[in-house]
Homo-oligomer: A and B are copies of this chain.
């Protein structure tokens, strides 16, 4: 008997009607001959309502109690979904994260999964039951309830799939797969059938919102096959798995973009060893996530250091930047909050030279100026002006012929990016 893990986000279970539709899909899968474990998020606005309530009580609530509060959102969902399945005449049993043994570290509100003891899930499956598991939550070794932070339910689903050795982990969202670009920006973007973990990781890290980065890392580390698909249709979506010879090998998978970051520049830093370390130690101490970093050529013993960071970290980043300027005797610091990142991702980049040149040319031809560049073996990212992001994404999608989906060996083929993922907690 195969085992299918299915993950449903907050929109998919947002109303009693949608909850019933999810129950029906689960039952169809079960009747189709597979054991089913469903991992669910909190219903629609529940988490926002809880956050609002907490803010009224304490503007800076302790994170442990925040987790205690937020974990109730998924617990409501699992109970109701189990009830909905019973109403269809099937047996279902719900478990919280702590109950199925999702053991995490103590990082309240953004805990990391250390171990999954899925015994109770396996036993319930062996008893013929449909198992419903609360996403987004776990428990520390010493019994404190934790939550996993943004995208946590995807990670729960993949972790449970690894724990029960599931044949596939289906992630249901409100889009029907991973696209060569965000279809709202590029109308002829093409759905990608298969992606390797590496490509999906680079796409997710570059702003393609369909799958959460940590869940893809977890899947890669445990060999879990992910099927990313729509909860509103029965069409197949995008499969993410280990690259193998049978996989269509695209040179370029897709174009991703991200407008959630800001650029901070520290100007006229005396050009001595250790200055970059001093800046980023300050950022790290302030719990600021730093993404891209560039340092300009030194001029008259002075240099500028620029980096990007999520808008969410901006308040802390400003404080840390001021401290770094003072530490280093630098001139000042600037924030540019109207930037965007546009990234080209593709496993074929490793072996096909000239991709970077083609990318820069395409952007230049479209009148898009590049202010920062960063690369990995299978990704090139440029920072551009936020108001040019749509122009840039379309130009790259066209230039690399991603709409056509041409196989390798022919011209420049296709693979994927964006479309926004379903609303997740936090």
Within the complex, the shortest CB–CB distance from A133 to chain B, in Å, comes to 12
B53 touching A16, Cβ below 8 Å:
yes
Number of copies: 2
Q: 1/0 per residue A232-250: CB within 8 Å of B?
A: 0000000000000000000
A20 within 8 A of B: yes
Contact residues in B for A87 (Cβ distance below 8 Å): 57-58
Contact of A19 among B57, B94, B143 (CB under 8 A): B57
Q: Which of A1-9, A62-70, A195-203, A347-355 contacts B (4 or more CB under 8 A)?
A: A62-70
Contact residues in B for A25 (Cβ distance below 8 Å): none
A-B contact pairs, 6 of them (CB 8 A): A57-B80, A57-B84, A61-B83, A64-B93, A68-B82, A72-B75
Contact of A72 among B16, B76, B143 (CB under 8 A): B76
New A-B pairs, 12, CB < 8 Å, besides A58-B83, A69-B79 = A16-B56, A19-B57, A57-B84, A58-B86, A68-B82, A69-B75, A69-B80, A72-B72, A72-B75, A72-B76, A72-B79, A99-B145
Within the complex, the shortest CB–CB distance from A113 to chain B, in Å, comes to 20
A65 touching B53, Cβ below 8 Å:
no
Within the complex, the shortest CB–CB distance from A251 to chain B, in Å, comes to 49
Contact residues in B for A65 (Cβ distance below 8 Å): 79-80, 82-83, 86, 92, 94
A120 within 8 A of B: yes
A→B interface (CB under 8 Å): 16, 19-20, 50, 53-54, 56-58, 61-62, 64-66, 68-69, 71-72, 75-76, 78-80, 82-84, 86-87, 92-94, 96, 99, 120, 143, 145
Contact residues in B for A58 (Cβ distance below 8 Å): 83-84, 86-87
Most B Cβ at <10 Å: residue of A61, A68, A75, A94: A68
- Docked complex Cα distance between A83 and B64 (Å): 10
The closest CB in chain B to the CB of A75 belongs to B72
Contact residues in B for A50 (Cβ distance below 8 Å): 76
Contact residues in B for A92 (Cβ distance below 8 Å): 65
Most B Cβ at <10 Å: residue of A64, A72, A94: A72
B53 touching A99, Cβ below 8 Å:
no
- Docked complex Cα distance between A327 and B96 (Å): 47
Contact residues in B for A20 (Cβ distance below 8 Å): 57
- Docked complex Cα distance between A66 and B76 (Å): 10
B62 touching A99, Cβ below 8 Å:
no
- Docked complex Cα distance between A161 and B79 (Å): 31
Within the complex, the shortest CB–CB distance from A34 to chain B, in Å, comes to 22
- Docked complex Cα distance between A78 and B92 (Å): 29
Contact residues in B for A56 (Cβ distance below 8 Å): 16
- Docked complex Cα distance between A36 and B393 (Å): 60
